Structure 1
Amino acid sequence: MPVIIYATRGATLALQNRLSLEIRTKGRMGMDGAAWPQVRGDLSSTRWGAAAFLNNLEAACTTISRTEWVIRWINIGDAHRLLGDTNIEKGYFDEAAEDWLCALTAFEVARRLAYEDASEIEDVPAKINAVIQKFGAVKQNIERVQIECCDQVEIAAHYLPADGRISSAPAIICISTEEETATTLLGRLLPVVIDRGMSVLVVAHEDVSNSRRGQSDVFLSCCVDYLLTRSDIDAAHIGVYGDGLSATLATDFAASDSRVAAAVCDGGLWNLARMLASVDWLARTADVRDEDMVSARRLQLLRRLRCPVLVVAGGRGIVSASEAMKLLRDGPAAPIDLQLAIPRMITTDAGEVENFVTSDDRIFGWLEHQLVLSSLSNHC
């Protein structure tokens, strides 16, 4: 049966006080003359704190401005980053890697809070890139690879191998939103994919998308071809995750390439919306719509998919929650495993903010269940 996944609530006002304490400066000064914010906790507690803060964001912004929270989360990220550097000097490699993952989580919170005002976070992308490089040099090698496609076109991508628990691991092709680089997406996903037994290939939306219909499918198939050349990949367990508008690219790719074993996508809803808009425009019948016809079209698009599917809906995504519920209603008529995830969205005076921590945990928990557990059972 399809399962609806909701993001959890449960933030408490005490979290604001905890965060305020964590960013108070110590008496000791850094080499640049700036006081170091106080840092506590490991990755799990940092991510818990970030999720709880985002859930309670509306209340948090009543006492402290959103801009001030952006600055504070950047400070928290800087503190974790510097602590990781200190632990490296002491030879504490695992601790340093965890500190850097905490830093990436904090920087992503700052990015989410900043919205469209890039001036608030103009130096954050460089910090994220620096932390990724440090993490890759110490914990798990992160390769910058070039994937050859048709017409001598190459796609630049980041490749993070699995942690080595098994000789050949599942892999996820992750496509960024249209607004983000592959590096930015990798920085957000590193803390959530680490230790899940999956390899990750991260590509940018602008490198994959193309005005010619079907071209993105060719590019993504080249990504699968590349993965299959690697001895550390389980060829039977390759998934795709499309973030934002890339969810429709993931749908088209999963429908066209039988090698895709699981897909986080839009379930065909974006193409359905465009098709209905064209029909309405041509027929001038926007006010009258045959719901049975729409349901049949929805099911027709869904039947193109031959692997388990997770549709992420609501908030700032391209799929509305109402349309996703209709898809879920029609899902039993299609021979696939269809599930729905609705991220927790927090409304502030400056707009909506998604709780990306709980959303990413659920998405990659679902991928782990679909791919890693199945892969491990095949190796037993």
Structure 2
Amino acid sequence: MDGAAWPQVRGDLSSTRWGAAAFLNNLETACTTISRTEWVVRWTNIGDAHCLLGDTNIEEGYFDEVAEDWLCALTAFEVARRLACEDASKIGEVSAKIDAVLKKFGKLGPKVERVKIECCDQFEISAHYLPAGDRSSSAPAILCISTEGETATTLLGRLLPVVMHRGMSVLVVAYDDLSDTERSQLDMFLSCCVDYLSARSDVDAARIGVYGDGLSAALATDLAAFDSRVSAAVCDGGLWNWTRMQASVDWLTGAADVSDDQVLSARRLRLLRQLRCPVLVVAGGRGIVSAAEAMKLLGDGAGAPIDLQLAIPRMITIDGEEVENFLTADDRIFGWLEHKLVLKSLSNHC
């Protein structure tokens, strides 16, 4: 276990992510001999070592290796941040390191851009934009919305190692920057984000997806239903709205225990049909969709012409808290987006 959790610091992103995923899958065993606090220190040190290796490679002119070094550092820092959980000082320390690494990418390419998104001259928000590697042609783009309490910088730091070589651009916004916006205006603002992407010459306006992390899965669903330009959605499939609607119906009728399964299925399916694009529902763990409800939704959609798939991240319980194996989850999510928006388009042109 110790060897799996302590990969060689050599700028090999594949082995770093494999080692991190193996460590998280065996986290309970790992913490029987070494405390979780100590693991936070160890993975922070791994990230620091990768940063140092990248800086050394820049000084020596080995520019091809530098990006891999920094992507490895981001992966290690995210493991440390997840393990820190409620330790605000440690989370702040690691988050600062993630921000510093992202700034380093400005020395290479593609450069992470800070952009402003405006909506009807009434609302403006800062976002991060990472263009696809090849700017000579338009590429798919993903609007990514962080979960509650996480900044756009934190989400970008986690996703950069996943999306860097997939031929997709990403625009990252923070849930907390949207939380004060009225529900009726949220769809309009997120649609303005789609406007921004569509207007960019390096984005293929016909291949724009949305990914809502955690609580933002419901926002991704609403956007996909509101804006027909969304070509793929990683979201909650309407289950958050369905749960609220069902609770209201039960309260009004006092019939919480007598709802017919076919009626419930029809209600779920009615909300799902509002989505006119391929859908991946992420369920379980720290998300807003339970695995049981997602399985029912999958069953409801089986007989309908709906491209619906389900992903259930691996969760590990330690010290009474659940830690998600974000590495395998993110690979699944962005592998699906790549298949829907990048690879399928390439095959259609062959």
TM-score interval w.r.t. the shorter chain? Answer: over 0.9
State the secondary structure of the residue aligned to 1:328.
helix
State the secondary structure of the residue aligned to 1:318.
coil
Whether contact under 8 Å (1:240, 1:250) holds in the other structure is yes
Larger mean Cα displacement after TM superposition, 274-283 or 106-115: 274-283
Q: How much does 1:19 deviate?
A: 3.4
Residue identity in the other structure for 1:19: A
**CA distance in structure 2 between the partners assigned to 1:177 and 1:141 by the alignment:** 24
Which residue is equivalent to 1:42? 12
Alignment of 1:122-161 (within 5 A): 122-161=92-131
Which residue is equivalent to 1:259? 229
Whether contact under 8 Å (2:233, 2:279) holds in the other structure is yes
Q: How much does 1:41 deviate?
A: 5.1
Within the alignment, does 1:17 sit opposite 2:17 as a pair?
A: no
State the secondary structure of the residue aligned to 1:122.
helix
Q: How much does 1:287 deviate?
A: 3.1
Residue identity in the other structure for 1:167: S
Question: How big is each residue's C-alpha offset from its partner over 1:190-224, in whole Å with a ceiling of 9 and x where there is no partner?
Answer: 00001100011111112234552331111111011
Q: How much does 1:106 deviate?
A: 0.4
State the secondary structure of the residue aligned to 1:322.
helix
Question: How big is each residue's C-alpha offset from its partner over 1:65-96, in whole Å with a ceiling of 9 and x where there is no partner?
Answer: 11111111111111111111111111112211
**CA distance in structure 1 between the partners assigned to 2:347 and 2:4 by the alignment:** 42
State the secondary structure of the residue aligned to 2:232.
strand
Question: How big is each residue's C-alpha offset from its partner over 1:130-173, in whole Å with a ceiling of 9 and x where there is no partner?
Answer: 10010232131111011110243112111100010760100000
Q: How much does 1:55 deviate?
A: 0.4
Which residue is equivalent to 2:51? 81
Within the alignment, does 1:278 sit opposite 2:248 as a pair?
A: yes
Which residue is equivalent to 1:329? 299
Whether contact under 8 Å (1:255, 1:305) holds in the other structure is yes
**CA distance in structure 2 between the partners assigned to 1:284 and 1:345 by the alignment:** 36
TM-score normalised by length of structure 2: 0.96
Gaps of 5+ in 1: 1-14, 23-37
Residue identity in the other structure for 1:252: D
Which residue is equivalent to 1:26? none
Whether contact under 8 Å (1:262, 1:371) holds in the other structure is yes
Which residue is equivalent to 2:76? 106
CA RMSD in angstroms comes to: 1.6
Which residue is equivalent to 2:289? 319
**CA distance in structure 1 between the partners assigned to 2:322 and 2:273 by the alignment:** 33
Residue identity in the other structure for 1:92: Y
- Number of aligned positions between the proteins: 350
Whether contact under 8 Å (2:28, 2:316) holds in the other structure is yes
Q: How much does 1:290 deviate?
A: 2.3
Whether contact under 8 Å (1:94, 1:139) holds in the other structure is no
State the secondary structure of the residue aligned to 1:352.
strand
**CA distance in structure 2 between the partners assigned to 1:41 and 1:103 by the alignment:** 9
Which residue is equivalent to 1:346? 316
TM-score normalised by length of structure 1: 0.88
User: Which structure is richer in relative contact order (CA contacts within 8 A, separation 6 or more)?
Assistant: 1
Question: How big is each residue's C-alpha offset from its partner over 1:97-149, in whole Å with a ceiling of 9 and x where there is no partner?
Answer: 11110000001001111112212232111111110010232131111011110
Whether contact under 8 Å (1:209, 1:249) holds in the other structure is no
Whether contact under 8 Å (1:344, 1:354) holds in the other structure is yes
Measured at CA, do residues 18 and 53 of structure 1 come closer, stay the same or move farther in structure 2, by a change above 3 Å? closer
Q: How much does 1:375 deviate?
A: 2.9
Q: How much does 1:379 deviate?
A: 4.9
Which residue is equivalent to 1:235? 205
% of aligned pairs identical? 78
Whether contact under 8 Å (1:251, 1:263) holds in the other structure is yes
Larger mean Cα displacement after TM superposition, 196-205 or 115-124: 115-124
State the secondary structure of the residue aligned to 2:171.
strand
Residue identity in the other structure for 2:123: V
Whether contact under 8 Å (2:4, 2:22) holds in the other structure is no
> Which of 259, 275, 278 is equivalent to 1:289?
259
> Which of 297, 303, 310 is equivalent to 2:280?
310
Larger mean Cα displacement after TM superposition, 48-57 or 220-229: 220-229
**CA distance in structure 1 between the partners assigned to 2:178 and 2:60 by the alignment:** 42
**CA distance in structure 2 between the partners assigned to 1:236 and 1:319 by the alignment:** 29
Residue identity in the other structure for 2:14: S
> Which of 145, 149, 160 is equivalent to 1:179?
149
Which residue is equivalent to 1:356? 326
State the secondary structure of the residue aligned to 1:192.
helix
Residue identity in the other structure for 1:221: S
Which residue is equivalent to 2:38? 68
Measured at CA, do residues 163 and 377 of structure 1 come closer, stay the same or move farther in structure 2, by a change above 3 Å? same
State the secondary structure of the residue aligned to 1:123.
helix
**CA distance in structure 2 between the partners assigned to 1:375 and 1:141 by the alignment:** 25
Within the alignment, does 1:90 sit opposite 2:76 as a pair?
A: no
Q: How much does 1:378 deviate?
A: 5.0
Q: How much does 1:18 deviate?
A: 4.4
**CA distance in structure 1 between the partners assigned to 2:64 and 2:178 by the alignment:** 35
Measured at CA, do residues 376 and 214 of structure 1 come closer, stay the same or move farther in structure 2, by a change above 3 Å? farther
